[in-house]
Structure 1
Amino acid sequence: MHGFGCGGLALLALLPLTACAQDLWCGKVYTAGTPEIIPGGRLEPPKPSTTPLLDLQVTPRHSIYVGSEEKAEFIVDATLSYIHGTPYLLAVPNGTYGGNASDILFFTIETEGRVLVSDTIVVNKTNKLLEFDLAQLTPRMSAYQIDLSATSRLDESKYTVSTELFFLPDKTVGSVVKVDNLYGSLLYRNEATRGSFKPVFPYGFYADYSGYLNVSNANVEAYASKGFNAINPVADFTDGNMTLTIDRMDELNLLFQYDMRNSFQNLTSVAEQVPLVKDHPSLLTWYTADEPDGWVYNLNSTKLTYDLLVSLDKYHPTALVLNCQNYYYAEYSSGADIIMEDAYPVGINATYSRKWNTPVNETYGDAGCDNCVGSLLDVPYRIDDLYSYQKWIGGAAARKPIWAVPQAFSGESYWERDPTPAEVWVMDMLAFNHGAKGRFAWIYPPSDMLVGAASQLAQVVTVSPVMDFLTGANPVFVQDDKHGLDVSYWSLGAQVLVGIVNPRNTTASPVQINLPDAFTGLQVESEPWGEVGWSLDGSSLIADNSLAGLATSYVLLN
């Protein structure tokens, strides 16, 4: 992926030859002398309503539950919105309530005539968790339709919304992986977890299979020894028998994403591959389309494969990566539970293609990073864009997790140099600050220097305490207008993790980050990552010294 040979991708030998017949990337022509085509496919924000809407949603906390589990939860949202929902007559145009009292909805959640939950929610409240007993249901492969019926306390207006709940028979062989829809993180269970679901923050690389992993299992072992807990071998069983490699990953509990980029559009082939993979203990996720928006694959291609995978294996989620900044996002993203982005900004010329000798803009050309400016901030900008698109689509899409695919390579006349170690850390931590719930860089093995840099951070973000925050909370962004720092925090019980990134090459001094007043009284417990030194004055986090360009830091408050 990830790089673009004839319009696309590094490691050209990994690509199907038919991919090179095109001269479009993200719907744009990129070869000199080719007439410009204005690409369509832009997802635009929905036209806002002139009056507030009630966007009532009910979502299972986990994407699946299995027969050995006793309890489950629903997430209920009663958001006031101007783009999704049904008319809410008790709100005035600025989104506040008429009268003096806040409205409350009385609601029940039921399935097939059986009430699972009865409760109330204040209008404009989100993420209300409601536990129920799974003993009321029988595990089965088909989904339960879940219906929420609500009544307004103030005017007795009625509202209804539906979703699906998967309560599956227990799986006794291999792994089971689910998405936590509250935080976007993954929970997995296999022999290594002793039957319990454990959170995981996947941190690793796409890895060359034929030229590296398949050479010797010693390479698999060396990879795992660096602290990487997940891997995406760039191959599938149509390329050869991967059993020995996967068996070793099982033994190491090295979680893998199974990559069908070269075969996912052949549904017969996909159906033949699934039984070879689905019962391995180290299977984390399926991976189907690699930059389908860049290659301009059929708009329904990802959804067709996704529907087939769900019919064959409901115990693992599906991921894909999108390369374009905004090209038929709704259509391509409908074919996955996890959306990955791969903005590669290091060493590019964002306005002129050295490879094709053409200008690059929003409607023409290919610079190696679609609609980028050539800054490390292109990574969080892209993640923010994708989360915005998902909110525009609404419903279940609004909760889909996003993973980052940062750059760990150079070449192909697009990227003049590799990222530095500091730039690797900046891109990773910017992604995490903006809500990325996993990370697979392109591609392994990179230079020894980049392996070492990624290994250092892997050994922090994949284990407690940092992993607990990244998987068990959502980041809250903190605005820093003075120095242009990128700051987010995660709250977990009485503790707070603060992520600080200086994304620029200029030193910031003095540095004072104003956190919420509620943090007054906390103390700096440790700095799990970085060498800055911090103290807390009231609710202000203050650096002991200046913050160097491209500095990164995690600070744990207690």
Structure 2
Amino acid sequence: MKSLHLLFTLLMCLGGTIGVHARELKAVSRMSYYTDETQAEILVYLPDGEARATLDGSETRYELRQGVNLLPLALDGLAMGPNLRQLTIEHPDGRREEHRVELLRLEPKRNEVKIDRLTGTLRVDGWQWLPVGFYSSLDGENFGFLRSEVTQGINLYSPYHNITDENREARMAYLDLCARLGFKVNYNVCSLAGSQGVGIGNNASQEEKLAALREEVLRVKDHPALLSYYIADEPDGQGVSPETLKRSYDLIHELDPYHPVSVVIISSLPARRYADTYDILMADPYPIPNGPVTEASRMIREIHEQMRFEKAVWLVPQVFGGGEIWTREPSAREVRAMVYGSILAGARGIQGFHRMPDSGSPLLWNGFKEVAVELQRIAPYLYDPAPQPVACDRPEVEAKLFRRGDNLLLVAQNNANEPLAITLSSEELPDAGEAWLLFENRRKAIEQGRITDMVGPFGTAVYRIETKAPASAVAAGNLLVNPSFEESVEAGQTTGGSGGAGGRGNGATQLPDARIARDGEVSLRLNNPFPGAGAARSLFPIDNEQDRTYILSVWARTDRRSLEANAANGTKMTFRLALGSLGEKEFELTDSWRRYEVVCPPQEYKRTHHGGAAGSITLLGEGTAWFDLAQITPDIAILTERTTDRKGFVVRLECYLDGGEIRYTTDGSEPKATSRRYEAPFEVRDVETVTARVFAGGKAYTPVSRVVAAHKALDAQVTYLQPYSAKYAAGGDGAMTDGVFAPLNAQAPLWHGYFGNDIDLVVDLGSVQPVRSVSMGFLQSLTAWVMPPRRLEVLLSEDGDDYRRAGVIDYGEARQGAGEYDYLRIPFRFDRLRAKARYVRIRAEHPQTLPSWHRVQGESWMFIDEIVVE
């Protein structure tokens, strides 16, 4: 089939137009129904050319362009229930078409599920929602399976079952469990709707089945886990007529207009024939091993072309095999190709057929879960109504480009079982830049609107591209790694911490959520299926100092469903924010973003592990909460950046205590309430000690100092006569003269590390000039096995050939002087040199082994940071 070519433009007054090739004019309500939207819209698809439209004989004319046109209507102009609008379309050749469009308006309901016909996607409980789940049988062992798989990105469950009195308790039990876990259910009523077994007796009449269907719909329609009613499994293959299913469809919508109806078909041919019996059409091509993986996307593409702007289209991928007519299971890579190929073809839901949790190979199921987690990360991009085709020099590769705000997402799927070198190109790609492969932790250059890469057998490449630098509210003095949860190296996780679930198998989850964020594109979602289930996030420890004040803050919110569930139980939706032993506090959540903080005053702190105090977020209430922009800041931060001429520093002081005022000095003295008040950034063009202090609420906080070194060797070239270790390169040869001092942490990437080699380097000042002091710092750490040099020598030269000794420090064996997990900076300084030189040579004798007093014996590292020449 010819791939769809979509072109999106925006109508300034009338809504948007989206160019797409299809076969017939369509006029429908954009949403399946409206509740709390600000406006309703009529979607008019014009296959080609231009036209004019009027509504209900009004004099207002809408100019229609080729593609999709959205005609806005005030929601308050619609009555509750169905609203019919007469749409008249006039073509340039004089032809007139009349279309009756029904817009349904309903009272808002907490578990409502809507279909956006523009995108074919769902809105569930007010949220964008991409279903990725599975079929199975109704069996008790599935309950444990649900608890484990909800942590893996699975969010949809659809068990096969008849509707009988005997299994009523089991049906309600799995619905209740799914609601607690955050699953939605494609509820199977096939046995009553005319497709499979009857469940109330094989000889039951259609009227008896419809009566039982009525009873079941009334029983489950308000359940929070309900997504849709599944009324027919392959009716085209079972000889079930559309007329039979239509009666069930109409009855369900009469009783419950808030939830869609779904049907599965085995080919694309009956899509139109059964169109009046479903809102969601699922297709179940099972091609492996009898056909190519592209059979899935081909079928979805044909259905999507027929039903676009009318119905939602889902894929039922083959996650089983080795029985009946299938001689083997598909591989996990084949499942990946089927799913992603179908997503590119228009599928916006995935319901895998897996039979039972233990019915297939674990690698096959794990491969499906991997795709599920990936799809949840990119789901918001799939709401783009106009994905653009992407050209590839290999015909085996399908690719499309999706837009979300200022960001682009390029998805390329290799349909061949071999690795391919590919070049992807699109006019939408920037001429130059970088693409981040979301699930591979690597980046590729964009050159002239092209990306050249290698994609594996049946592999998927997902590239995220920022078209402009994102704005962020992360404070410059933040100490926390990945505060906005944006960074990840694979799907389903974010760097900078780890999660907890309070015990194996209880169903508590912590997952990134790309649908909602306070800062950036991703938030952290925690869900407790019951109060105190243990959904939590531990944060990477900071290098705190025991005489400082620290503020741990986070933005957070919950949803109305969680608030109401807690209120019904007489409880509150709360979470705990803690910074190790420094402080903690519990907070009550609301359904809008709010900032919460814990201020931890100075106190004695004994390190018992690498790093310092670690923050944590623990959800206490039952339900779901989202967290973003988690930060740890000191009360005050001294921040520097280079001046435009690169010869000095601009110093900025930031206070993170509410109502705080900053007083500072530049001579190393302790600031008083009468010291200079900080009002604006200032320049430093020498070596100065900036000391700052916060005054707030009548209290003077602990002062903090930082040496700002605009020294003679700033940006000077360094020649290394002995190499430093590639493991601790600190960014390269310029690290020793960049004006940046390394923090007290052996893992900080600002130290040059030496193992076995002595330090022997030469700093070129560029010209002969007076030198009065040379200083540098070395690290000492018991647990990192880092010790200062035994001997340090500084030599000076005017020509680089003849050196004279400026000073020697025989330090000898390292002193104890620190706890097991403490870090010390050992300063070495040579003053009153009164010399002239262009070249400064540093020789440091490596300690080689750990000192005799160390609790273990072994080889030692030697770490050095900035070399300051004054």
* Shorter-chain TM-score above 0.5: yes
In 2, the alpha carbon distance for the partners of 1:530 and 1:433 equals: 20
> In 2 relative to 1, CA 382–481 (structure 1 residues): closer, same or farther, beyond 3 Å?
farther
Q: Which amino acid aligns with 1:240?
A: N
Note the C-alpha offset of 1:221.
1.4
Match of 2:315 in 1: 404
Query: Helix, strand or coil: the match of 2:67?
Result: coil
> In 2 relative to 1, CA 325–70 (structure 1 residues): closer, same or farther, beyond 3 Å?
closer
Residues paired across the two proteins, number = 425
Q: Which amino acid aligns with 2:55?
A: I
Query: Helix, strand or coil: the match of 2:428?
Result: helix
Q: Which amino acid aligns with 2:116?
A: D
Match of 2:235 in 1: 292
> What's the TM-score once normalised by structure 2's chain length?
0.46
Match of 2:33 in 1: 64
Match of 2:182 in 1: 253
Query: Helix, strand or coil: the match of 1:524?
Result: strand
1:137 and 2:78 are equivalent in the alignment: yes
Q: Which amino acid aligns with 1:554?
A: V
In 2, the alpha carbon distance for the partners of 1:416 and 1:155 equals: 58
1:170 and 2:108 are equivalent in the alignment: yes
> In 2 relative to 1, CA 531–406 (structure 1 residues): closer, same or farther, beyond 3 Å?
farther
C-alpha deviations, 1:488-511, integer Å up to 9, x for none? Answer: 2222333221111111112212x1
Q: Which amino acid aligns with 2:380?
A: D
Match of 1:461 in 2: 375
Note the C-alpha offset of 1:331.
2.5
Q: Are 1:508 and 1:548, in contact at CA under 8 Å, matched by a contact in 2?
A: yes
1:554 and 2:465 are equivalent in the alignment: no
In 2, the alpha carbon distance for the partners of 1:303 and 1:231 equals: 24
In 2, the alpha carbon distance for the partners of 1:329 and 1:136 equals: 34
Task: Give the counterpart of 2:251 among 302, 308, 312.
Answer: 308
442-451 vs 303-312, which moves further? 442-451
Q: Which amino acid aligns with 2:263?
A: L
Q: Are 2:228 and 2:261, in contact at CA under 8 Å, matched by a contact in 1?
A: yes
> In 2 relative to 1, CA 306–118 (structure 1 residues): closer, same or farther, beyond 3 Å?
same
Query: Helix, strand or coil: the match of 2:145?
Result: helix
Match of 2:116 in 1: 180
Q: Are 1:184 and 1:437, in contact at CA under 8 Å, matched by a contact in 2?
A: yes
Note the C-alpha offset of 1:336.
0.4
Task: Give the counterpart of 1:504 among 416, 424, 431.
Answer: 416
Match of 1:345 in 2: 287
In 1, the alpha carbon distance for the partners of 2:93 and 2:365 equals: 61
Match of 1:472 in 2: 384
Q: Which amino acid aligns with 1:331?
A: R
C-alpha deviations, 1:131-163, integer Å up to 9, x for none? Answer: 3221122223xx1111113445x6766443211
Q: Which amino acid aligns with 1:491?
A: R
For residues 108-119 of structure 1, the aligned pairs below 5 Å read: 108-110=54-56, 118-119=60-61
In 1, the alpha carbon distance for the partners of 2:282 and 2:322 equals: 22
227-236 vs 528-537, which moves further? 528-537
C-alpha deviations, 1:434-486, integer Å up to 9, x for none? Answer: 110000000242432223222222222123xx111113334444354634212
In 1, the alpha carbon distance for the partners of 2:160 and 2:414 equals: 33
Task: Give the counterpart of 1:199 among 128, 141, 153.
Answer: 128
Q: Which amino acid aligns with 1:256?
A: V
C-alpha deviations, 1:396-440, integer Å up to 9, x for none? Answer: x75322100001111333112222221221111111111100000
> In 2 relative to 1, CA 79–273 (structure 1 residues): closer, same or farther, beyond 3 Å?
same
Query: Helix, strand or coil: the match of 1:382?
Result: helix
For residues 37-116 of structure 1, the aligned pairs below 5 Å read: 56-66=25-35, 68-80=36-48, 104-105=51-52, 107-110=53-56
> In 2 relative to 1, CA 345–156 (structure 1 residues): closer, same or farther, beyond 3 Å?
closer
Q: Are 2:432 and 2:445, in contact at CA under 8 Å, matched by a contact in 1?
A: no
Note the C-alpha offset of 1:272.
1.5
267-276 vs 441-450, which moves further? 441-450
Q: Are 2:268 and 2:300, in contact at CA under 8 Å, matched by a contact in 1?
A: no
Task: Give the counterpart of 1:493 among 400, 405, 416.
Answer: 405
Greater Rg, structure 1 or structure 2?
2
In 1, the alpha carbon distance for the partners of 2:385 and 2:157 equals: 24
Q: Are 2:436 and 2:443, in contact at CA under 8 Å, matched by a contact in 1?
A: no
Q: Which amino acid aligns with 2:32?
A: S
> What's the TM-score once normalised by structure 1's chain length?
0.71
What 5-or-longer segments of structure 2 have no aligned partner? 1-21, 195-208, 467-870
Match of 2:88 in 1: 149
Query: Helix, strand or coil: the match of 2:370?
Result: helix
> In 2 relative to 1, CA 398–77 (structure 1 residues): closer, same or farther, beyond 3 Å?
closer
> In 2 relative to 1, CA 474–435 (structure 1 residues): closer, same or farther, beyond 3 Å?
farther
Does 1 or 2 have the higher relative contact order (CA < 8 Å, sep 6+)?
1
What 5-or-longer segments of structure 1 have no aligned partner? 1-52, 81-95, 97-102, 190-196, 349-373, 391-396
> In 2 relative to 1, CA 479–305 (structure 1 residues): closer, same or farther, beyond 3 Å?
farther
Q: Are 1:341 and 1:403, in contact at CA under 8 Å, matched by a contact in 2?
A: yes
In 2, the alpha carbon distance for the partners of 1:320 and 1:550 equals: 29
| Root-mean-square deviation over aligned CA pairs | 2.5
In 1, the alpha carbon distance for the partners of 2:367 and 2:75 equals: 45
> In 2 relative to 1, CA 550–64 (structure 1 residues): closer, same or farther, beyond 3 Å?
same
C-alpha deviations, 1:350-392, integer Å up to 9, x for none? Answer: xxxxxxxxxxxxxxxxxxxxxxxx11111111112222444xx
Q: Which amino acid aligns with 2:38?
A: E
1:452 and 2:394 are equivalent in the alignment: no
Match of 1:415 in 2: 326
> In 2 relative to 1, CA 54–337 (structure 1 residues): closer, same or farther, beyond 3 Å?
closer
In 2, the alpha carbon distance for the partners of 1:61 and 1:332 equals: 21
In 2, the alpha carbon distance for the partners of 1:413 and 1:237 equals: 26
Q: Are 1:347 and 1:414, in contact at CA under 8 Å, matched by a contact in 2?
A: no
> In 2 relative to 1, CA 399–477 (structure 1 residues): closer, same or farther, beyond 3 Å?
farther
Query: Helix, strand or coil: the match of 1:147?
Result: strand
Note the C-alpha offset of 1:314.
0.6
Greater helix proportion:
1
In 1, the alpha carbon distance for the partners of 2:191 and 2:141 equals: 19
In 2, the alpha carbon distance for the partners of 1:278 and 1:458 equals: 27
Task: Give the counterpart of 1:240 among 139, 162, 167.
Answer: 167
In 2, the alpha carbon distance for the partners of 1:447 and 1:306 equals: 37
C-alpha deviations, 1:501-555, integer Å up to 9, x for none? Answer: 111112212x11122x232346334222347753311211211xx3222111111
Match of 2:294 in 1: 377
176-185 vs 469-478, which moves further? 469-478
Greater strand proportion:
2
Task: Give the counterpart of 1:540 among 450, 470, 473.
Answer: 450
Match of 1:212 in 2: 141
Q: Are 1:435 and 1:474, in contact at CA under 8 Å, matched by a contact in 2?
A: no
In 1, the alpha carbon distance for the partners of 2:160 and 2:80 equals: 35
> Runs ≥4 in structure 1, deviation > 4 angstroms?
53-56, 154-158, 530-533
> In 2 relative to 1, CA 60–344 (structure 1 residues): closer, same or farther, beyond 3 Å?
same
> In 2 relative to 1, CA 432–169 (structure 1 residues): closer, same or farther, beyond 3 Å?
same
Q: Are 2:44 and 2:68, in contact at CA under 8 Å, matched by a contact in 1?
A: yes
Match of 2:864 in 1: none
In 2, the alpha carbon distance for the partners of 1:55 and 1:331 equals: 16
Match of 1:20 in 2: none
Q: Are 2:163 and 2:191, in contact at CA under 8 Å, matched by a contact in 1?
A: no
Q: Which amino acid aligns with 1:425?
A: R
Query: Helix, strand or coil: the match of 2:342?
Result: helix
Q: Are 1:230 and 1:254, in contact at CA under 8 Å, matched by a contact in 2?
A: yes
Q: Are 1:522 and 1:536, in contact at CA under 8 Å, matched by a contact in 2?
A: yes
Q: Which amino acid aligns with 2:178?
A: M
